Amino acid sequence: MTAQFKATKRVSRIRYAIRDVIEFAKKLEKTGRQITYLNIGDPVKFDFDTPEFVKTALFDAVRAGENWYGTSEGDPELREAICKKEKQVNNVDISPDDVIVTTGVSEAIFMIMAALLEEDDEILVPGPTYPPYSSYANFFQGRSIAYRTIEEEGWRPDIEDLRRKISSKTKGITIINPNNPCGAVYDRKTVRAIVDLAAENNLVILSDEIYDRIVYEEEFVSTAPIAKDYPVIGLNGFSKTYLATGWRLGYLYFYDPEGRMEQLKESVKKESRIRLCTNTPIQRAGIAALNGPQDHIKAMVEKLRRRRDYAWKRLNDIEGITCTKPHGAFYVFPKVHEIGQRWKTDMDFVLDVLEKTGVLFVHGSGFCETYGTGHFRGVFLPQIEVLEEAFNRLEEFMNKK
C-alpha cells in the first residue's frame, strides 16, 4: 500500500463551525432537498446589495489600470480614509502609519495571533466567541481561554470571571463588540472594566468592532477612546457595513499613544509584506465607500431591526426555546432546553433540524464548548417571509415529541 502523506497536527486542530456544517447541507442538496441557509452572516446573499457607487469605484479602478501590486501595509489614501472614519464615527485618534489593511478581518486575527502568541501562551476571548479567535490561537500553539458572558443579562461579560481567568500565561484580552454570535452591545462601564483589568495586568487588548454601525437601541462605544493612554489593537472591515462580504477587505489599527506596541506593529507589518498586499482595485473601492454617501447604513439597520424584532419574538414563542434579544449585528443565539435530554448535543440538534426541516443553523458549542453549548446561532438577514417559513418548520419540528 502506498504510504499516505500526513498533514501537520496544527492544521488537524482547525475548526470553523459556521462553514463546517455546510458539508452536511450539501449532502442533502445532492438528494434534491432545498436548504434554507441561516448559518452564515452574509447579507449580500439575501436582499442587501453593495452600494452602487462603491461598485462603480471598483469598475473604474480596474478600467483605469490600477491592477498592480500595492503597498504591503495598504493603499495610503485608504489608510488616511480609515483614520478619518475612525475619528468621525468612533472618536479614535490614529495616523495612517498605525493602520494595516488586510484581506478581511480574519487575516487581521491571523496576523495578530502570529505576532502575539508563543507556545502555551493564552488569549482570553468572550464565551461564546467568533471561532477564528480560538482557531488561530490554537494554530500558533497558544490557547484561547473563554471568559463567561451572562445570558440572563444580555450576554454581558462577567468581569469577575474574566479576572479569575487571567494567569501568568495570559497575553491579551479580546473584546467583540457588538458581539458575534450573541448580538450583545457592551456599555461604557463594561468596556471600562475590561480595559482596567488589561491595564492592571499589562495585557494587550484586541477590540473587534466590525459591527460598530449595526446597532439598534444602545449606543456603540469604541474601546480606544475609553482606554485613553492605554494601547488597543482595533479590528474592523467593509464586509458588513458596506455589504462587501466577498470582497474581503478589512483592517487593523494600533492605537498606541505611548508607543508601547511598536514591536508588535512592526512584526505585523513584516507579516503584511510576506503576503505582498491586499487586492489593489478593491482598496480603491474602499476609499470610495468611506468617503462617499453613507445613506445606505441607516436604511440597512432599519430593515434589520424589523427582522430582528420578528425573529426574536418568534423564537421565544416556540416551546422549548428561549432567546435573549440581540442589540447589534444580525444574529440570534437561542437556547434549546431539551439538549442533553431529547438531543445528546447541540450538534445533534442542528443536524436533526437540518434533516427534518431543511433549515441550517450552527451549533452553539462551535462558538464555545463551555458557554455556547446548548444553543444554536442563526441569522435574521432574510426577508420576514423567509424567516417565517423557516421558523414555522422549526416550531413544527419542536412540537413533535
**pLDDT reported for residue 21:** 81
- Maximum Cα–Cα distance for the chain, whole Å? 64
**pLDDT reported for residue 24:** 85
**pLDDT reported for residue 259:** 94
**pLDDT reported for residue 358:** 95
- DSSP 8-state symbol, 167: -
- Cell numbers placing 143: 490557547
Separation of alpha carbons 326 and 298, rounded Å: 18
**pLDDT reported for residue 299:** 97
**Which domains, from first to last, does the chain contain?**
9-49+296-399 (3.90.1150.10), 52-291 (3.40.640.10)
Separation of alpha carbons 318 and 168, rounded Å: 45
**pLDDT reported for residue 78:** 98
| Residue 353 CA, distance from chain mean position | 24
Closest CA to 102 of 80, 84, 79: 79
**pLDDT reported for residue 9:** 79
**pLDDT reported for residue 16:** 62
Task: Enumerate residue ranges in the chain where pLDDT < 70.
Answer: 1, 16-17, 401
Residues 6+ apart with CB under 8 A from 1: none
Report H helices in 202-255: 223-227
**pLDDT reported for residue 1:** 63
- pTM equals 0.93
Separation of alpha carbons 383 and 46, rounded Å: 8
102 phi/psi in degrees, rounded to 5? -130, 165
**Tens of pLDDT along 309-329?**
999 999 999 999 999 999 999
**pLDDT reported for residue 295:** 95
275 phi/psi in degrees, rounded to 5? -85, 10
Separation of alpha carbons 324 and 314, rounded Å: 12
DSSP β-ladder status, 376-379 and 335-336: unpaired
